[in-house]
Chains A and B, each alone.
Chain A
Amino acid sequence: MTVLNVALDVMREALARRFILAIFIAIGIGLLTLSLALDLDVVQGTLAASRLFGQQVHAAIVPVDVALRQLFGGLVYPFFYAGVMLGVVASSQIAVGLLAPGRVEFLLSLPVRRGELVVGTYLGVLLIALLATAASVGGLSLVLFYKTRIVTAAPLAAAIAGLLGFAAVYGAMLLATALVRSSSLASAAGLGLFALGAAASDRATFVSLFDVGWVRRLVEIAVAPLPRFHLLAEAGARAAEAGQAWPGGTGPLIGATLAFALAGVTAAAFVIGRKDY
């Protein structure tokens, strides 16, 4: 219950910030613009033509659900990469604000355990990410449903991939914040991890970039626990193209990503639990 209260408070406070509010307003304006600028000619479940801002973008005649799956399959990558990076920047100040001198002493004097504060903060940030994802992906689905009368699970794949990726990145950001109260460092840790995790998704190709011998072995060990972000995005794209919420056979990928997130949060709770404020 306390964890939930902390999470909801973190979310309320974040939503009261102008920057976060601006992101939601930007999502709304983007969706509104898309709904006004996108024109889909649907005839008996078939997409005859589509125009964006008056320019024809699709001329081939294909079933609407197929066209939408192709569209979402292509959109997963920008959604995933831009979404996670925007999440990193938008959330970098949240935990730093809670741990700021004058604030953290007060929070720690309340009947909240340090672990509950850490987990609540983490869940609160994930709730905001969930809201932003739901607003963008849900809004996009609604716009396309209004235009085509077709409901598809495809956007969900982008949402799941993005949220999983962000969950892992924010775990590491929380740990960085626990170690050093700096939003710049938290952002750098988040973006650095994301870039490295994406680049090292194909471990064999990545380690082959380094000298054979102890350096390569060291790199192998260093990247072994990193989440394979690009594989997550690929899985999301495959799911979207297949019209599924999520493809089968990706359990280990999801498990490893969630384990990384959990390790980050646990380590952050350990550090904060032992620190003097």
Chain B
Amino acid sequence: MTTNQAAIEVTGLRKRYGRVQAVAGVDLQVPAGSIFGLIGPNGAGKTTLVKMLLGVVWPSQGEVRVLGGRPSSPAVRRRIGYLPERLRLPAALTAVAFLRSVGRLKGLSRRDLDDQVPRLLAQIGLEQSAWTRRTGTYSKGMVQRTGLAAALLGAPDLMILDEPTDGIDPLGRAHVRELLRAAGQRGATIFINSHLLSETEKLCDHVAILDRGRVRLSGPLDVVRAEHAFRVRFVAAPDLDARALACGFVADDEARGRGQSETFSFAGSDAADLSAALRRALADGLVVREVVPKLKDLETVLEESLNGEVGP
């Protein structure tokens, strides 16, 4: 699968539970090889959407294509790794026995299991002493780590993870991010449903915002976060504020509040306008230290999207 193909394609997807419309017409494309974050408020329909991607919940209407096939197809599912929101492990089994059982159902050979199970358990940071302990004695974080190992088993082309870092300590979260980035680097598509915006921001390169069963906004993270403005930092100079203002820049109070003096904003996303303003500044003898596009944090994007300020 090339990277310009979609790993997940959803068209006109709806799900109704009695009188409740959980998903109200979702169209979504998840590019192959991307790390895609699905965010939205509670009750937005995220988990229902995720379950429909896996064929666990049947759509009332619409179509889902995953890795070019139907999600109910065993051939497609063999290429998917999934971590549910609240994974329940078989309490009587050890992590090793559980992973071997999952691997057998995924069609992995005994040799593959001998190789992958201990390696994945080590990678996810589960203490070796816990490998042969019944999972019924595990903490939430340990259950989550074991579930992640199960999702990574067989090096799937697509990983669908529902709140993957839930219950994991901050250091563990960084470790999980590294593991997922590594999976992304080998070409896997990673679809994450998370309410932790900071995690999504750190890990994902694409996001979609779901609210009341509809996609409000979707696209590459940088595009979604773009504020249509640039932040320009000059080298200190006499009368800097007045001279920059004359060239079209305004003082960036937010950056200055963080101690970054000599920082200005340039409104607009047109590169030609920005170039012209910078040329005027350079002609006036100012020295540019840094030019970066201004980005909103994901929380702001979410708030604006839910308030109808951005999006379709």
Contact = CB atoms under 8 A, between A and B. Distances in A.
Interface string B100-135: 011011110000000000000000000000000010
A104 B57 CA distance: 11
Nearest to B107: A111
A100 B86 CA distance: 11
Nearest to B53: A109
B219 interface: no
Contacts of B54: 105, 108-109
B88 A100 contact: yes
A101 B101 contact: no
Interface residues of B, number: 35
B92 interface: yes
A97 B91 CA distance: 10
A140 B78 CA distance: 45
Contacts, number: 84
Given A16-B97, A108-B56, A109-B77, A2 B82 contact: no
A276 B87 contact: no
Given A276-B58, A277-B57, A109 B82 contact: yes
Contacts of B134: 16
A209 interface: no
A105 B84 CA distance: 7
A274 B57 CA distance: 9
Interface string A9-28: 10011001110000000000
Interface residues of A, number: 26
A274 B58 contact: yes
A110 B150 CA distance: 10
A103 interface: yes
Contacts of B107: 111
Contacts of B104: 5, 9
Nearest to B51: A105
B92 A111 contact: no
Contacts of B92: 13, 16-18
Quick one: which of B78, B85, B105 has the most chain A CB within 10 A?
B105
B75 interface: yes
Contacts of A9: 101, 104-105
B87 A112 contact: no
Contacts of A111: 74-75, 77-78, 105-107
A147 interface: no
A8 B108 CA distance: 16
A110 B106 contact: yes
A226 B160 CA distance: 45
A112 B54 CA distance: 12
B113 to A, nearest CB: 12
B97 A276 contact: no
B90 interface: yes
Contacts of A17: 92
Interface in A16-51: 16-18
Contacts of B41: none
B55 interface: yes
B90 A97 contact: yes
Contacts of B75: 111
Interface in B42-86: 51, 54-58, 72, 74-75, 77-78, 80, 82-86
Given A13-B90, A106-B82, A113 B74 contact: yes
B106 A102 contact: no
B82 A276 contact: no
Given A16-B92, A102-B88, A276 B51 contact: yes
Interface string A100-142: 1111111011111100000000000000000000000000000
Contacts of A100: 88
A274 to B, nearest CB: 7
B93 interface: yes
B55 A108 contact: yes
A101 B86 contact: yes
29 contacts: A9-B105, A13-B92, A13-B101, A16-B90, A100-B88, A101-B86, A101-B88, A102-B84, A102-B88, A103-B87, A103-B88, A103-B89, A103-B90, A105-B56, A105-B82, A106-B83, A106-B84, A106-B87, A106-B147, A106-B150, A108-B54, A108-B55, A108-B56, A109-B82, A110-B102, A111-B75, A111-B107, A112-B74, A276-B58
Interface of B: 17, 51, 54-58, 72, 74-75, 77-78, 80, 82-90, 92-93, 97, 101-102, 104-107, 134, 147, 150, 160
Interface of A: 2, 5-6, 9, 12-13, 16-18, 97, 100-106, 108-113, 274, 276-277
